[in-house]
Chain A
Amino acid sequence: NAGVMQNPRHLVRRRGQEARLRCSPMKGHSHVYWYRQLPEEGLKFMVYLQKENIIDESGMPKERFSAEFPKEGPSILRIQQVVRGDSAAYFCASSPLTSGTDTQYFGPGTRLTVL
Chain B
Amino acid sequence: GENVEQHPSTLSVQEGDSAVIKCTYSDSASNYFPWYKQELGKRPQLIIDIRSNVGEKKDQRIAVTLNKTAKHFSLHITETQPEDSAVYFCTYAGGTSYGKLTFGQGTILTVHP
Tell me the A residues contacting B by CB distance below 8 Å.
Answer: 31, 33, 35, 41-45, 48, 55-56, 59, 91, 93, 97, 100-101, 103-109
Are A109 and B43 within 8 A (Cβ)? yes
Q: Is residue B51 contacting chain A, with contact meaning CB distance below 8 A?
A: yes
Chain A residues with CB below 8 A from B46, complex form: 103-105
Q: Is the interface of A mostly helix, strand, loop or mixed?
A: strand
B8 → chain A, closest Cβ, in Å?
14
* Residue of chain A at shortest CB distance from B32: A101
- Which of the four size classes fits the interface of chain B? 20 to 34
Q: How far is the CA of A107 from the CA of B101 in the complex (A)?
A: 15
Instruction: Give complex CA distance A45, B101 in Å.
Output: 7
Closest 4 pairs (CB-CB, A-B) = A101-B32, A42-B103, A106-B43, A45-B100
Number of A-B residue pairs at CB separation under 8 A: 59
13 interchain pairs (CB within 8 A)?
A41-B106, A42-B104, A42-B106, A43-B101, A45-B103, A97-B99, A100-B98, A100-B99, A101-B31, A101-B99, A103-B34, A106-B44, A108-B43
Contact residues in B for A48 (Cβ distance below 8 Å): 99-100
> In chain B, what residue has the closest Cβ to A89?
B41
Considering residues A42, A59, A93, A106, which has the most beta carbons from chain B within 10 angstroms of its beta carbon?
Answer: A42
A25 to chain B, nearest CB (A): 14
Output the least CB separation between A16 and chain B (Å): 28
Confirm or deny: B65 has a beta carbon within 8 angstroms of a beta carbon on chain A. Answer: no
Chain B contacts of A101 at CB under 8 A? 31-32, 51, 93-94, 98-99
